[in-house]
Amino acid sequence: MTMFDTVLVANRGEIAVRVIRTLRALGIRSVAVYSDADAEARHVREADTAVRIGPPAASESYLRVDALIEAARRTGAQAVHPGYGFLAENAGFAQACADAGLVFIGPPASAIDLMGDKIRAKETVKAAGVPVVPGSSGSGLTDAQLAQAAREIGVPVLLKPSAGGGGKGMRLVRDLAVLGDEIAAARREARASFGDDTLLVERWVDRPRHIEIQVLADGHGNVVHLGERECSLQRRHQKVIEEAPSVLLDEEIRAAMGEAAVQAARSCGYSGAGTVEFIVPGGDPSSYYFMEMNTRLQVEHPVTELITGIDLVEWQVRVASGEQLPFVQADIKLTGHAVEARICAEDPARGFLPSGGTVLSLHEPQGNGVRTDSGLSEGTEVGSLYDPMLSKVIAYGPDRASALRKLRGALADTVTLGVQTNAGFLRRLLAHPDVVSGEMDTGLVEREVDGLVDASVPDEVYEAAALLRQAALEPAATGWTDPFDVPSGWRMGGTPAEVTHHLKVSGQDPVSRPVRGRLLDRTEDRLTLELDGLTHTFTYAGDWLGRDGDAWHVPSYDPVEASLTGAAHAGADTLAAPMPGTVTVVKAAVGDEVAAGQSLLVVEAMKMEHVIAAPHAGTVTELDVTPGTTVAMDQILAVVTPHVEEQS
């Protein structure tokens, strides 16, 4: 085959922008697709052409196989790159592309199908000599058979859905007395997430390390590995920081794990870029076990690119076009160290709930060993339809310590005002002593999360917000100024009155305070103030302030207006939206008597559901939403008035 001249990218956001960048470097015309919600998105603007696939504002747009294939036909694309997520590991989509005469830039449908079934995958690689986690065997096990396997393995055990990953449906069981309930719960979640409630059970490795091997294979029988990535820093089974190489492995173990990964790829007839994931006991890295194979490009692929100098997207495209790998295993050299942080639209101070909004100010560091892969631009509307990951910041250095320092600095320099993100949290995580020393495991983030999240608002944040409002009120310096026009509190023949600003940060009580600080310098997007002898510098846009990766939304608060609208007494009786999203379930109506803790509503955002429960027993006196209602964060959803005896 010859190289493609047009490739359709069947994805969105940062990975679509990333793929388009390599296509442009190869001289290949790129085609983007978009839902109505993404009509102004960055990946649409950066592609050579774009096709609307609708329907309006629906996350399912990118799952419409018929629309994607028709878009490729209309634009003359010869191949489709699926990115990751959506249809990237969908064997039916890969086969549909082949049936339509399109090249799927990924492995054969048969490899996707085989490795997508965790039970069959485990049996296949085990037969190829790859070590696997002790656990159940066979597909379609009944609850009784799963329970028997768990008893034979011995607790703790992990229940896992066979049909999918991402932590959905996984249950860690340490007590056999609750095993039956956990199997039922795991089946329900697996069925809801993947349409398949088949489970397997595996031995749980306490304080495990999550290490994966990047493989690259062509259609001519050549397979190499590109070293490992350490992905042990996770929250709720989702990776947040990844690095390459791992401090845990020595050259001998690295070579052995790499060879195991190559054999796993060969066992399923793999071609393209893929990742073989292993669970590794931290105290004995030589005892590694196959966990699963991801038959696509990984989110964390940039760290491998930086230490090997190999563009993985480029080689996905070249292999798919029929080219042979020009290097063998002995040619692969790992140089330096790279670390990646995933920037997500979530609010650590509010339990990592999804956030949203319009990007008002954006700065993403690039150069000097720092790379940002992003789908953002100023003006981007971050809604509740799609995955919360917005971008990735990656740092490279000659050694691990320098890469960590560089990434902490890059996160401090990252500005995404208008949308709350986890950048500040990640910067603090990277400074944790156990991360710095490399003594990590998959439970570290959950154990230490309280010490890495600070929900309080520093005094200087309120002071900066007040000074900005004060400066906006002051008249331009054009000759003589009437002192009554200056908001300084000046009064004739008397002591100046204090100038007070009323402010409120979401999730905090309103603040009314006089201005105590002094504005030292202000530009279009940056200010420096002095407070109690210390200077503080912030970026700002609208009502947003940012510093060192953290951000605060500090709007004005009018006590009079709040009293008129009822917002002032929004307290224990009031149920507000904890995140911007869509109401999917309403289980009560005005006049209903409800019990404390009773589920009343469900709000969904970015594929995360949040149950809104009654704060106390009482009567539903207000309920202003229905299923399908789009709500903003802190929007009042319902009011539960307590019974008289509870009020007393």
pLDDT at 1 over 70: no
pLDDT band, residue 475 (cuts 50/70/90)? low
Query: Across residues 604-613, what is the average pLDDT?
Result: 83
Question: What confidence tens digit (pLDDT) does each residue in 553-596 have?
Answer: 999 887 777 665 554 445 568 888 888 888 989 999 999 999 99
CB proximity list for 348: less than 8 A, separation 6 or greater? 422, 424, 425, 452, 453
| 8 A C-beta contact, residue 205 and residue 279 | yes
pLDDT at 481 over 70: no
| Better-scored residue on pLDDT, 437 or 282 | 437
Of 182-191, 366-375, 537-546, least confident by mean pLDDT is 182-191
CA distance 95 to 110: 9
pLDDT at 175 over 90: yes
CA distance 276 to 232: 15
Query: At CA 259, angle to CA 255 and CA 263, rounded to 5?
Result: 170
pLDDT at 95 over 80: yes
CA distance 21 to 105: 16
E strands along 134-207, which residues? 157-161, 171-173, 199-203
What's the full length of the chain, in residues?
A: 648
The first and second tokens of residue 529, run together, are: 């103030």
pLDDT band, residue 648 (cuts 50/70/90)? very low
> So what's the pLDDT on residue 194?
87
Query: Across residues 244-264, what is the average pLDDT?
Result: 97
Of 70-74, 220-224, 626-630, least confident by mean pLDDT is 626-630
* Rounded CA Rg of the chain: 27
> So what's the pLDDT on residue 164?
75
> So what's the pLDDT on residue 305?
98
Residue carrying structure tokens 């696997």: 132
DSSP string, 1-37: -PPPSEEEE---HHHHHHHHHHHHHTT-EEEEEE-GG
Query: What is the 3-class SS of 84-136, one letter each residue?
Result: CCCCCCCHHHHHHHHHCCCEECCCCHHHHHHHHCHHHHHHHHHHCCCCECCEC
pLDDT band, residue 138 (cuts 50/70/90)? confident
CA distance 528 to 102: 56
| Better-scored residue on pLDDT, 22 or 189 | 22
Residue ranges of domains in the chain, CATH in brackets? 6-105 (3.40.50.20), 134-203 (3.30.1490.20), 208-452 (3.30.470.20), 570-647 (2.40.50.100)
Of 115-119, 165-169, 296-300, 590-594, least confident by mean pLDDT is 165-169
Q: Report residue 21: phi and psi, to 5°.
A: -60, -45
> So what's the pLDDT on residue 507?
79
CB proximity list for 197: less than 8 A, separation 6 or greater? 161, 187, 188, 190, 191
Question: What confidence tens digit (pLDDT) does each residue in 17-65 have?
Answer: 999 999 999 999 999 999 999 999 999 999 999 999 988 556 689 999 9
Query: Across residues 8-24, what is the average pLDDT?
Result: 98
Read off the amino acid at residue 592.
D
pLDDT at 294 over 90: yes
**For the CA atoms of 289, 295, 300, 304, what is the dihedral angle to 10 degrees?**
80
The first and second tokens of residue 569, run together, are: 């007494």
Of 23-27, 460-464, 644-648, least confident by mean pLDDT is 644-648
Of 28-42, 269-283, 338-352, 609-623, least confident by mean pLDDT is 609-623
pLDDT at 249 over 50: yes
Read off the amino acid at residue 494.
G
Q: Report residue 348: phi and psi, to 5°.
A: -55, -35
DSSP label at residue 580:
S
Question: What confidence tens digit (pLDDT) does each residue in 329-343 have?
Answer: 999 999 999 999 999
pLDDT at 265 over 90: yes
| Better-scored residue on pLDDT, 94 or 500 | 94
